[in-house]
Amino acid sequence: MTYQPSPQRYDKMQYRRCGNSGIKLPAISLGLWHNFGHVDVMENFRQILHLAFDSGITHFDLANNYGPPPGSAETNFGKLLKEDFAGYRDEMIISTKAGYHMWAGPYGEWGSKKYLVSSLDQSLKRMGLDYVDIFYHHRPDPDTPLEETMSALDLIVRQGKALYAGISNYNAEEAAKAIDILKQLGTPCLIHQPKYSMFVRDAEEGLLDVLGNEGVGCIPFSPLAQGMLTDKYLHGIPEDSRAAKSTGFLQTSSVTDEVISKIKALNELALQRGQTLAQMALAWLLKDSRVTSVLIGASKAAQLADSLKALDNIEFSADELAKIEVILGDYRTQA
């Protein structure tokens, strides 16, 4: 049966202007970092994408190396675009990135013009697209001049392979320089994608101020700290969790007794707000007007449906915010 999007798909979603641009993004966007590779079940991510689009999520975020294996998330997304969303491309914001290792040899990662242009060409082929809406440099390159990397983004936009340029994982100083170079080139930076959550708050050390002052959007990734800001870890480390497997970015050593006590205290506050911990964690990011959208992942449609309920309550009292700060203390993690 052919997929027919819900006629009410734009009724409930909140849309926020991305910096000074003409683009609005949904308050919640869908990232395809995990769960969309060849090792996963196509029917499962078809259900996730259908629910996302039916719920007003218009922004879908990928990168060249998403999978596993690397590249397979773009391939699978392209297959579903063709099969299920063929008539709806103009209702979507599709982004991809390059910066991490993708292929062998000296031109397969980092920030050279050679790598960025080649990578996007490969991404467009995998997805069956003529262009992406946003193309990001995925991480700063300490060895390539920033002018070269930014001029590559400028070239890609002028070629029509991307409509907008973005950066990811840049700190405040790096971001300010990149934004300034792009501005001089005539291709303004649309958006920055930092790691940001209650547990990872480096973005508050000047970066959010830079983005706000420069009129650049902000879309945090890992808003649930690799699942730690959910009810999954309330009673310790479950056997099927990322921390238990210790094969990804979240290690068992990160989930200490201190962390679990903070998770429990935050969960109590969330319940008092009528939310799950995950919903409160997303709402906490969205309380800041400089945050355009929050990028979430989902391994099944029910997870996505739960996250979307965060939008029912994104207001915090001064007392609630103060309680959160007391709970968090000076805690920082690289989750």
Q: How many domains does the chain have?
A: 1
Q: Read off the pLDDT of residues 113-130 as tens digits, 9 standing for 90 and up.
A: 999 999 999 999 999 999
Which pairs count as long-range contacts for 323-331, CB under 8 Å and 24+ apart, including other chains? 323/269, 324/198, 324/266, 324/269, 324/284, 327/262, 327/265, 327/266, 327/269, 328/198, 328/199, 328/262, 329/262, 331/199, 331/258, 331/259, 331/262
- At residue 34, the pLDDT reads 86
Q: Which of 238, 326, 323, 311 is nearest to 278 (CA)?
A: 311
Whether residue 252 is contained in a domain is answered as: no
Q: Residue ranges of the chain with pLDDT lower than 70?
A: 237-254, 331-335
Whether residue 244 is contained in a domain is answered as: no
Whether residue 180 is contained in a domain is answered as: yes
Whether residue 254 is contained in a domain is answered as: no
Q: Read off the pLDDT of residues 12-46 as tens digits, 9 standing for 90 and up.
A: 999 999 999 999 999 999 999 988 999 999 999 99
Whether residue 211 is contained in a domain is answered as: yes
Instruction: Determine the structural domain holding residue 191 and report its residue range.
Output: 15-226+285-314
Helix (H) or strand (E) holding 51, with range, is helix 42-54
In angstroms, the Cα distances linking 248 to 171, 252, 282 are 23, 10, 22
Q: Is 135 helix (H, G, I), strand (E, B) or coil?
A: strand
Whether residue 110 is contained in a domain is answered as: yes
Whether residue 2 is contained in a domain is answered as: no
For residue 217, the domain's CATH number is 3.20.20.100
- At residue 255, the pLDDT reads 76
- At residue 235, the pLDDT reads 80
Whether residue 94 is contained in a domain is answered as: yes
Residue 294 dihedral angles phi and psi, to the nearest 5°:
-115, 130
Q: Is 138 helix (H, G, I), strand (E, B) or coil?
A: coil
Q: What is the pTM of this model?
A: 0.94
